[in-house]
Amino acid sequence: MIEVKEIQKKYGDFKALNDVSFNIEKGEVVGFLGPNGAGKTTMMKIITCFMPPTSGYVKVLGHDTIESSLEVRKLIGYLPESAPLYTEMEVSEYLRFIAGMRNIPKSKIDSQYRKVVEICGLSEKVRMPIETLSKGYKQRVGLAQALIHEPEILILDEPTSGLDPNQIIEIRELIKKLGKEKTIILSSHILPEVSATCNRVIIINRGQIVAEGEPDKLVEASQSGEIVHVKIEGPKATIEKALSKIKDVTNVGLLEDVEKMSVFKVTRKEKSKSDLRKDIFDAVVKNKWVLYEMNSEEKSLEEVFINLTKEEKYK
Amino acid sequence: MKKILTIIGREFKSYFSSPIAYIFIVGFLVISGLFFGLNLLASKEATLRYFMGNTIFILIFIIPALTMRLFSEEKKTGTLEILMTLPVRDYEVILGKFLASFLFYLLMLFLTFIFPLTLFVIGKPDLGIMISNYLGLIFFGMALLSIGLYASTLTENQIVAFITSLGFIMILFFIHALKNVFGEALGPIFEYVSLNSHFDNFSKGLIDSKDVFYYLSMTCIFLFLSLNILESRKWK
């Protein structure tokens, strides 16, 4: 649906994007992830036809963003960072202006308008000037303007930045709902956001793609070894000894020691055939201790991200 | 075409969404009215001739204020990004914004009709000359508005846009003063380029196609320059 091929973008001598290629299929929700200034916004500006790439091309449903820019723009709904809107206008006035600019026939403007107001939960605010709305509602107006012509593709730049936690959850839910019907690209430098809403992540750093894939798989791929926290009742020293004897275990540390119960951190560097949790459980059963808690410490996307973007810096 | 109208509608309305428009209209009417009254008392003639001379001078300051936000505000707030990713052509945006400011300017001129009407009450002014005067103001204003629009595409700071367009207009307004410096060979060029010297005929009641052509070409040149700046984001 969206084909990005060997994109380069230079601002003077600075390479904002360097040889970026990827494809996005219909129905995907893709997250661009990267530190500030990595090139996410530049990529979006190129796909939305705001500016052309220095070299390479982007095709949206076969239309080139430079040669048939107007066609591409019709297919896309775009919400730039921090939802820049004509704040002096009323919500309804603004959405109708966008509808007019989007060439929606007069007979359909009303129904389309009501539809996006409904989807974005704006019905109580339509008569209010945009400048009087909260950040969360402004963001919704921004989403509404991007949706009014029922585009197949939605491009959202940092859709939740600057919102409070409740608003973030609301916008995320909205994106999830929209993601069932539309192809969505969103950018973020906040990781939970991407893992919560996207089914594919493209991690960009310093103008290049450093990793790409499903959020879970990215985590899995970068994970080597296992770490398990376990709370056991029994003789401390014996337990510690037994745990460290489990195959391939490289380190056992005592984290907490409350009355008879102790919490251990068991580390296994290399991945083994059997799950470390199973091995610990077996050891506990064999020795007839009591197991109170056990959980494995999983690497989050956050760590994957930090690793990838850090390594890049020292290269 | 429909999109140009949509843009005109939005821009024109936005003039009235803040008190600025009213301040300009009232300010313009008060200052020009003051000059009108003083001219009338001093000359005791039922003519707009002296009034015209003062009005174009007031416009030099008023028009940059009318155009300063057209693009600079959109650049600053980022709304330009939404606007330019809508399926709209760059020239449609330029024309829409220009015509909106032109419409507002016409409204301001319309409100000054109270002055010639006064003359009809107290004397017998020449209607033909008055029509020529107002046509002159329309063409003169058009050129100034396009210069202001151009200045607004250059910066995201409204004040800078205001000062830049004021500078451009001042230069083009007073440039005919250089004609004596450069002698007979180059002198006429400076006179021709001047925004001021082409207004003389209009204020005397002469509608010369050369003057109309001059103001229209100035307008086109600056609209074209603005289009170029708007398109510069597409430079690779």
- Note whether A51 contacts B87, CB cutoff 8 Å: no
pLDDT of B101 reads 96
CB neighbour burial string for A94-103, b if at least 16 within 10 angstroms, e if fewer: bbbbbbbbbe
* CATH classification at residue A173: 3.40.50.300
Say if CB B70 and CB B230 are below 8 A apart: no
pTM of the model: 0.85
β-pairing verdict for A2-11 and A63-64: unpaired
A47 and A186 share a domain? yes
- Note whether B3 contacts A101, CB cutoff 8 Å: yes
Asked which of A154-158, B105-109, B120-124 is least confident by mean pLDDT, the reply is: B120-124
Asked which of A21-30, A113-122, A224-233, B199-208 is least confident by mean pLDDT, the reply is: A224-233
d(CA B182, CA B141): 28
In a mutagenesis test of the A interface, which of B13, B86, B88, B233 is the best target, namely the one with the most A β-carbons within 10 Å? Answer: B86
Give me the percent of chain A exceeding a pLDDT of 70: 94
Does any CB of chain A come closer than 8 Å to the CB of residue B16?
A: no
A105 and A253 share a domain? no
Residue of A54, A73, A80 lying closest to B236 (CB–CB): A54
Cα of B190 to nearest chain A Cα, Å: 38
d(CA B44, CA B123): 10
Domain boundary (A221, A247, A270) is at A221
A62 and A102 share a domain? yes
Say if CB B72 and CB B160 are below 8 A apart: yes
* Sequence letter at residue A260: K
A6 and A39 share a domain? yes
d(CA A247, CA A280): 10
**Two tokens at A114?**
């009501």
d(CA B19, CA B12): 14
Chain A residues with CB under 8 Å of B85 CB are 48-50, 73, 76, 78
Considering the domain boundaries, does residue A312 fall inside one? Answer: no
Does any CB of chain A come closer than 8 Å to the CB of residue B124?
A: no
Q: Per-residue pLDDT for A131 more than 80?
A: yes
pLDDT of A308 reads 74
pLDDT of B210 reads 92
Convert B116-142 into a string of H (helix), E (strand) and C (coil): HHHHHHHCCCCHHHHHHHHHHHHHHHH
Cα of B111 to nearest chain A Cα, Å: 25
Considering the domain boundaries, does residue A70 fall inside one? Answer: yes
Count of beta carbons in the 10 Å neighbourhood of residue B42 = 9
Say if CB A252 and CB A312 are below 8 A apart: no
Domain boundary (A221, A241, A258) is at A221
Q: Which helix (H) or strand (E) holds A17?
A: strand A14-24
**Two tokens at A204?**
């960009």
Chain A residues with CB under 8 Å of B7 CB are 101
Cβ contacts from A onto B, under 8 A: 68
Q: Per-residue pLDDT for B4 more than 90?
A: yes
Does any CB of chain B come closer than 8 Å to the CB of residue A80?
A: yes
* Cα separation values, B191 from A283, B140, B186, Å: 101, 16, 9
Domain that holds residue B10: 2-234
* Residues B147-151, mean pLDDT to the nearest whole number: 97
A211 and A235 share a domain? no
Does any CB of chain B come closer than 8 Å to the CB of residue A132?
A: no
* Sequence letter at residue B119: L
Asked which of A46-50, A153-157, B120-124, B209-213 is least confident by mean pLDDT, the reply is: B120-124
Residue A13 burial (C-beta neighbours within 10 Å; 0-12, 13-18, 19+): exposed
Does any CB of chain A come closer than 8 Å to the CB of residue B143?
A: no
The number of distinct structural domains making up chain B is 1
Cα of B149 to nearest chain A Cα, Å: 19
Chain B residues with CB under 8 Å of A50 CB are 81, 84-85, 233
A204 and A269 share a domain? no
Query: Model confidence over B6-60: pLDDT tens digits?
Result: 999 999 999 998 888 888 899 999 999 999 999 888 888 888 888 888 899 999 9
Residue B154 burial (C-beta neighbours within 10 Å; 0-12, 13-18, 19+): middle
A163 and A87 share a domain? yes
Complex confidence, ipTM: 0.90
Chain A residues with CB under 8 Å of B21 CB are none
Chain B residues with CB under 8 Å of A88 CB are 14, 17-18
Q: Which helix (H) or strand (E) holds A290?
A: strand A290-296
**Two tokens at B180?**
């004596």
Say if CB B219 and CB B83 are below 8 A apart: no
Cα of B236 to nearest chain A Cα, Å: 5
* Residues A228-244, mean pLDDT to the nearest whole number: 86
A40 and A128 share a domain? yes
A217 and A229 share a domain? no
Chain A residues with CB under 8 Å of B10 CB are 86, 89, 97
A19 and A113 share a domain? yes
Does any CB of chain A come closer than 8 Å to the CB of residue B82?
A: yes
**Minimal-distance CA residue of chain B relative to A48:** B85
Considering the domain boundaries, does residue A17 fall inside one? Answer: yes
Residue with more model confidence, B21 or A3: A3
* CATH classification at residue A228: 3.30.70.1560
Residue of B3, B9, B85 lying closest to A78 (CB–CB): B85
pLDDT of A288 reads 87
Does any CB of chain A come closer than 8 Å to the CB of residue B90?
A: no
A212 and A245 share a domain? no
* Residues A304-314, mean pLDDT to the nearest whole number: 64
Considering the domain boundaries, does residue A308 fall inside one? Answer: no
d(CA B13, CA B15): 5
Enumerate long-range contacts of A43-47, CB under 8 Å, 24 or more apart. Answer: A43/A4, A43/A7, A43/A17, A43/A187, A43/A204, A44/A78, A44/A80, A44/A155, A44/A157, A44/A185, A44/A187, A45/B81, A46/A7, A46/A9, A46/A17, A47/A2, A47/A4, A47/A76, A47/A155, A47/A185
pLDDT of A116 reads 94
Q: Per-residue pLDDT for A222 more than 70?
A: no
Chain B residues with CB under 8 Å of A76 CB are 85
Does any CB of chain A come closer than 8 Å to the CB of residue B231?
A: no
**Minimal-distance CA residue of chain A relative to B14:** A88
Residue of A85, A86, A101 lying closest to B86 (CB–CB): A101
Chain B residues with CB under 8 Å of A73 CB are 85-87
Chain B residues with CB under 8 Å of A103 CB are 2-3, 87
* Residue A7: strand pairing partners: A20
Domain that holds residue A195: 2-221
Chain B residues with CB under 8 Å of A81 CB are 78
Give me the percent of chain B exceeding a pLDDT of 90: 69
Say if CB A212 and CB A201 are below 8 A apart: yes
pLDDT band at A314 (very low <50, low <70, confident <90, very high): very low
pLDDT band at A130 (very low <50, low <70, confident <90, very high): very high
Does any CB of chain A come closer than 8 Å to the CB of residue B85?
A: yes
Q: Which helix (H) or strand (E) holds B35?
A: helix B20-43
The number of distinct structural domains making up chain A is 2
